[in-house]
Structure 1
Amino acid sequence: MGDTKSEDNSTKRMFLRSTSAVPRRSNGSSNFPFSRAKSVQDIQTSNQKRSRSSIFLIEDLVQCGICLDKLSEPRMLPCQHTFCLNCLQAHLMAITGRKIRKNHMPPSKEEIQAAVTETNNEIACPTCQIPVNVGKGIEGLQQLPNNVYIDSLLKLLEETNGSLPQTPTRLTPETRCIKCQTICEFKEERCEHCKQIFCKVCWAEHLLTLKNNLFTLIENIRESEVRLEHRLQDFYERCNKVGVNIQKVTDEMISDIKAKEIDSLNQLENIKQQEEKTANMLKEHLTSTKKEIQLLSFDSIPSDKQKVELFMNFHRAASKMFNEISQMGETRLLFDPKTFKVKQINEFFNRATSGEDGDVVDSGDIGNPLESVETMTSYYLNRLFNPKLVWTKCPRPAGLGIPPWSKNLLYITATDRKVVLIMDRTLFKIVGKLTAPNMLCTQGIAFSEKLLEIYVSDKWKHCIHVFSSEGDYLRSLCGLGSGPGELRSPEGIAINWRNLLIVADVGNDRVVVLDPLDGQHMLTLGLRNKRTELQAPTGVAVYKDRIIVADNGNHRIKVFSDIGEKLFEFGSLGSGKGQFRTAEVVACGPLGFILVGDAGNGRIQVFTPNGDFVRVIGSYGEAPGKFAWISGLLVTPQLEIIATDYKNKRLQIF
């Protein structure tokens, strides 16, 4: 190896002599650095050797110490060593990758690029290992200066490429030592730690360095053990502080809850004592009235008129007491865990403030709303829409319907009761029900005035149940499947003017038109290339020759003709005016106004027959007039709006 270095130094001296501006003289009498005794042939041979050595040395000088190829876009480090710009960038990425490696797993390219961009970077010169701060990002390397000397040599090589003699075959780049840059013919040594190549001499030094680093690593491990112990103790202290805070807050909350508990129990006790006081008073009245009647000598009263009058007085007193007794114990007590208040509800049905005719009293006079679309719009805009009836124990209600043969009845599908409840709207009382052994989850309801039949969709049975107007079970239509005449989780249902059955086939993403007699498939709405543009439609309504569909999955309302042609659509996802978050149900009122049960937003939205927004009714909540999830919607000819709320188990009439 020493011979190789000597030869390399000799070559450098020859290069300096051959490229000097003033030729050196050997004995003061000649301009040529060789003896006069040499022959011309020897002189030519010597010149060729010098030329080849010079070219070899020039190529060695313009060779990158990283890629071992000719320099490209050379950049000079402060230590004067020059490398390719791309090689320095790759070198920086490799160093950063080793720094951020976690759990012996190599980081991704994106993680390395982020680390290079976010921090000030420092690299060690690949030749002399002097650290160099290159700033943030790959761009910091581009700010390094060019090596003017190297640039000149590169230009010289480019200009004389065609006239210089052929350079000898170079050794393979893998045999260049990363430390001393020596090119050797012996087998190199590659370090698996730093992925660099060393000559035999430098390899021994490198192994010694690794050995010394092991002792340094041991010291670092010891320091880390102590640091870990301190950090663990500090973490334990923080945990203890948080635990003390948790106990303190918990004790305060328990104390507060205990105080609220005492207040609630006192409220309950006061209600109980008040009820006992009322009961004792009734007992006294009953006892005294009974004694008066027992002590009364009815026959001793001379006048028949006085007898009748006395009887009526006792009868009125007794009737009043009987009425008060009938109301005793009917008060429902509700405990609100949010406010810790005990509430009393005295009636099953709660009436809102209303006028003499039962309609909600609104301000302003808008005349007859049925005259035109404009007057109907004004009606919806000016009416208060306060609930005049709230049924708070409606069992998971869904679809609603008023039969054409009995306008005072209201049919309500109860999803978890497997029945359809029948309410008398004048008495606000349940008077009957529809049921069948094979019903599972009643959903939508529709009526055929022509056939005097009732149709109920069954979401879990995947069929349509048919009843007579008297409530007798007649048959079922369709069954589970996706073919014609088959259904999958049907919900909304309606009868159009042609006496055809319109069904929202939710599971099959379609709305189908069926024959109500045998369930024969007649038409599929919105069908294009054997697929529909609907996604989980849940509600349908009809007005004259129009079919209105609540396209639940797309948060839109789509209007079709009765032959399946789409006329227009409106709505989008959101909570603004005219937007929906799960358009669950749809209903049509007089003049074709469209009402949409915007279940996700807890409200009803009103639109004109052309889909123009009019107003919002209600909002999300549990109080009367609000909704948690609208599951049924109906508009009566008298412009009453009836809505069911699945989550609140409530029916409201506006």
Structure 2
Amino acid sequence: MTNVYKIENLEDLLQCAICLDRFRIPKVLSCQHTFCLTCLQRTYNTQHRTLTCPTCRKVMNLIQGPDELPSNLLLINLMDVQPVKAKCPCCQKVEKLTICEHCNCTKCTDCNEKHINEIRQSTKTKLDELQNTSQNDLKVSIHDAFKNIRNEIYNQFQSIRQQHDSMLLTKQMDILKQLDTHEQTLLVHVENDLQPLEQSKLELIGKNYHLESKNEPELINLLTKVSDIQSRLADKLVEHRTYLNSIEISLQYDQDRLDQINKMCNNIQLNITNTNDDKSNQQTKLSIPSEQIYITLRTFLNQEYKCRISLDKTIYELKQIFGKQENLNPNHITLTKSGNYFDQLDDKRTLKSYDCDATTILMICIRK
């Protein structure tokens, strides 16, 4: 018992006060306290280039960091002479201990062998998970997502096509063709994005699946590589699935415009807009916009007229539409915005340039 007590006392001298483990590259501070280099690197203030002693709180200026501190040669020599023999934290036996480079823990020979077996099993599990991870899963998700979009496009067109089947069916096929192109582009992008990781995965599995013959450093190195590839693949899959989940579809159609169905079909387009940026949540919206709106025209006697027109049309074209309804010369019509009767609208400018929308009211003045 006396020898055990002395060994444990000596081990206390060889123990870092920060990590509570045997010193690894012991560095001595100007206050003569000693700590592991890696422990000091974690406490080093890189912004102010200072290091505070964890024991006495003395502050030291270290331009190059803890690496410039001198090594504690006495402790290094003691560790070379004294084997790591202390109480095993697992089985509580006083034995020669070994340090695991993966988790930095100390164990006796028997417990360390069990620990290596656990690492080996964990590595095998990671390899199995990596082998089961495939970009085909993402491709299936893409196919399913675009299948749902196709179904929604079909259902929205179906209700319209009852009266205008011929023209709308042609437009639907054109939109679905555009959707197919977008899907194929996305699939190619996904394959190019994941190909390097997929190749690394196959090489790692092909060369390193026999684990029984590998030693501890090899297992640790393999486990690190497997975990890194698995994490990067998982991040990529989440990124692309998030993109798929954010896709929306909207078909916009005005039921009152039956007499202009041919023109309306030309205005329906597949519009996939990606609003991703670093400052906002990722959103992708699939929409089919309509440029036609109703503009309200009002006289000073509160008579109102509604004209359906595209926002890309000019003020003069709006006057022509109204003039045909009332048999008036467009050149004799003056338009101003409601609330600003003295600011005559320029005939050459578009409605969009005046920020017109469905709530806009334009005032009419007829000149003789």
**Do both share a fold (TM > 0.5)?**
no
TM-score w.r.t. the length of structure 1 is 0.19
Structure in which a larger fraction of residues adopt strand? 1
TM-score w.r.t. the length of structure 2 is 0.31
Of structures 1 and 2, the one with the larger relative CO (CA 8 A, separation 6+) is 2
Structure in which a larger fraction of residues adopt helix? 2
